[in-house]
Amino acid sequence: MQEEMAETKLKSISELLTLIVNLPTAVAKHFSKCRVLWTPKIHQGMSLTAAKERGQLVFLEGLKSCLDLLFGEKEKQSGQPSPLQFISESASNLKALFDFVRTSVTPAGSESWKGPVLLVDDLSVLLSLGATPVAVLDFIHYCRVTVCSQLKGNIVVLVHSNEDSEDEENELVVNSLCHHSDLILWVEGLATGFCKDVHGQIKIIRRASLELTAEQDLVQIYQYKIQDKNVTFFARGLSAAVL
Amino acid sequence: MAAAPAAGGTVRGRGAISFQRKAAAGSRLAAVAGTRPSVRHGQLLLSSGLPSLDCVLGGGVAVGTLLLIEEDKYGLYSNLLFKYFLAEGVVCGHDLFVASAKEHPDNILKELPAPLLDDTYRNELAEEATAVKSEDFEDSMKIAWRYQNLPKMEASPTTSTKFGHYYDVSKTMSPELFQSIKWHSFYLPEELSLQPEVKTCNVNSAYARLLQSIQRIIYQEGFDGSDPQKKQKNILRIGIQSLGSMLWGDDICSSDTPEDIHSLTKFLYVLRGLLRKSLSACIITVPSHLIQNKAIMERVTNLSDMVVGLESFIGSERETNPLYKDYHGLVHVHQIPRLNSLICDVSDTKDLAFRLKRKLFTIEWVQDNYLRQERNIYPAGFSYLLKQKDSAWGEGSLQHSTFLMSFLAKATAFASRLVRHSEPHKQTGSGRIRQTAELRMWCYGHRQEAPGLLVIST
């Protein structure tokens, strides 16, 4: 299996209004994954479809939106450009996508959602679709200003990376995100190869502060094993197979 | 969409098992010929035409997914896999869509391999088995006893007549089997001359036309469920040959700095969207060895559901290497899908090779003794003993096993001490004190040179 490093940045999920911009996967799959990872301790088994109906969850499905853009009927909705229109235009800025995010995240008059969370599944796909790395970083910067600073929310971003990757644009985005994030979850396979009982390890890097102080980042390393509907984490060398 | 299982509004709390098993949705659709629901995630699976490849992919090709084959150097074996996929579609009664810029799809379909029916293939396989047995009789004695119990890669041919068929490469499929099959073709030179310019959306025009064509077929034939009148559901198998090559108007295979590096990835993205929305599955072969810019292949791999690379031994030094004499090439699995569950169906065995045994193409697990001999983990003297004919140290003998066990125990103990204490290879006199010590912090990471002195480091 190829080694894959997925990196997300996250403060602390403060729930309620969540916006998921989901690019390559289908709706059903993502919903089921999200449902599973929220253990009953934290949530009472939240249902995402119910949340979507309440208006608590806004889900942009990249695949569907792209298909509508390319094969949709000719009638254009006035004043509503498609969030992914950068694919068909030569200008590769992600402004339309950001506008979509901003309108979804800012609470309208009657709603009282606080602390929005923006989850971006796979920023690397945006690069494959033609956005320049600078445009992607601009998009994240604008989102951070809106969501984190103005609305006191959180952003979670997923990127793919390879150790000996030749994709320089991707590495640029990943490095830049690393520098700007407060918490990095670095997931990779084991250096020694494939193992049935330990699927990989996760490194949690907590930034002490983004300013130049003498404090070191706090790094914790755990190993994990993925089961059908659950992931178990344990300290290094202490997998269930060994104990 | 019918292909994607219902998400359902189930609430999953501790203790309350109101959990809709996805298999329920799958069993409704099992009525479609040639498919079966997966036990793990309830998605509908199709056979790829090669039962051993189905095993590698975790049961088969899921409906709505994309299988990408990285071509071997001369495209021989990848072409074979491509034809197997289409032949399986014919045998199961699925609709076909064949796209190529190189060969006319009519010619491709004329050359599909003939399926082996129940009575004939058993004879074929028996023939193969006896031929193999006589060659490998001596070899099989040398395989260490502990390897004989490990599972073989091939699926047993006796039961899978409905899902997964065997094909005879030396014969072509008879035209009668095509009678009831509906197939669509896309031959690029014809399409370019027929149609006027299409809206390109910044994608290579050949890809744009292909996407339009696929979308039109899916919509018109009702594979996306848009036609409620259609009771009998069927699967559309899409095959695209040599995508990314120069014949498609893309220069990623011919230059280091191609004009548009995003065309292929955009195409794959949109194609995956179309596949997810419909009852279809797609196989694409890509000449990845020609693509200069490796970043593109990484992105392509990330955008596909399943990626299998073929590396043939033709022309390489491995062709004459006796270790690989039974095989024609290696199989590298770069990507496996994770559909509706956190875990993917990955088999434990990682070293896969393929061979074309006269008529049958199989993918097998390479026996580990090949790799062992390549890496040569045995100490020098022992290898010499092993190589001698009929030596008492042959594999499977008791002396061999006990020697191995004690040797490996000593070696790992030595190595772990080495790693733990960062000790140098040579054991000097003063080092003995520290040999059995607990983990200590060496100053500056190096061992202190203090011959004759007992230094107690903190």
Q: List, for residues A143-191, the tens digit of each pLDDT value.
A: 888 888 888 888 888 888 877 778 888 889 888 888 888 888 888 877 7
Indicate whether B23 pLDDT > 70: no
Rg of chain A in Å (alpha carbons) = 19
Q: Which range (A197-206, B64-73, B84-93) has the least confidence?
A: A197-206
Q: Which chain B residue lies closest to A166 (C-alpha atoms)?
A: B295
User: Any CB–CB contact under 8 A between B211 and chain A?
Assistant: yes
Amino acid at B443: C
Measured distance CA(B427)–CA(B412) in Å, rounded: 17
Cβ <8 Å between B273 and A64: yes
Closest approach of chain A CAs to the CA of B261, in angstroms? 8
Helices (H), chain A: 27-37, 48-54, 62-71, 95-105, 124-128, 133-143, 168-180
Q: What is the mean pLDDT of residues B79-105?
A: 91
Closest approach of chain A CAs to the CA of B25, in angstroms? 13
> pLDDT value at position B239?
95
Cβ <8 Å between B333 and A130: no
Chain B neighbors of A27, CB-CB under 8 A: 4, 7
> pLDDT value at position B337?
80
> pLDDT value at position B232?
72
**Which residue is it, tokens 């950068």?**
A86
Which range is most confident: A81-90, B170-179, B223-232?
A: B170-179
Question: pLDDT-derived band of residue B286, with 50, 70 and 90 as boundaries?
Answer: very high
* pTM (predicted TM-score): 0.72
User: Any CB–CB contact under 8 A between B272 and chain A?
Assistant: yes
Indicate whether B302 pLDDT > 50: yes
Q: What is the pLDDT of residues B375-432, one digit of tens each?
A: 445 565 666 666 665 666 666 677 777 777 887 888 888 777 777 766 555 555 554 4
Of B272, B274, B294, the CB nearest to A166: B294
> pLDDT value at position B126?
53
User: Any CB–CB contact under 8 A between A233 and chain B?
Assistant: no
User: Any CB–CB contact under 8 A between B276 and chain A?
Assistant: yes
Task: Identify from B216, B252, B303 which residue to disrupt to test chain A contact, counting A C-beta atoms within 10 A and taking the largest count.
Answer: B303
Cβ <8 Å between B342 and A64: no
Cβ <8 Å between B11 and A28: no
- What is the share, in percent, of chain B residues with pLDDT greater than 70? 63
Chain A neighbors of B8, CB-CB under 8 A: 49
Question: pLDDT-derived band of residue B96, with 50, 70 and 90 as boundaries?
Answer: very high
Measured distance CA(B358)–CA(A178) in Å, rounded: 54
Which range is most confident: A169-178, A224-233, B132-141, B408-417?
A: A169-178
Chain B neighbors of A230, CB-CB under 8 A: 342
Question: pLDDT-derived band of residue B221, with 50, 70 and 90 as boundaries?
Answer: confident
Q: What is the mean pLDDT of residues B223-230?
A: 74
Q: Which range (A179-193, B41-55, B113-127) has the least confidence?
A: B113-127
Cβ <8 Å between A49 and B273: no
User: Any CB–CB contact under 8 A between A24 and chain B?
Assistant: yes
**Which residue is it, tokens 């006896």?**
B130
Whole-number average pLDDT of chain B: 72
> pLDDT value at position B82?
93
Whole-number average pLDDT of chain A: 70
B159: left (phi over 0), alpha (psi -120 to 50) or beta: alpha
Cβ <8 Å between B202 and A87: yes
> pLDDT value at position B383?
61
Q: What is the mean pLDDT of residues B145-167?
A: 52
Measured distance CA(B281)–CA(B97) in Å, rounded: 10
Q: Which two tokens stand for residue A148?
A: 């984190």
Measured distance CA(B356)–CA(B328) in Å, rounded: 7
Cβ <8 Å between B342 and A66: no
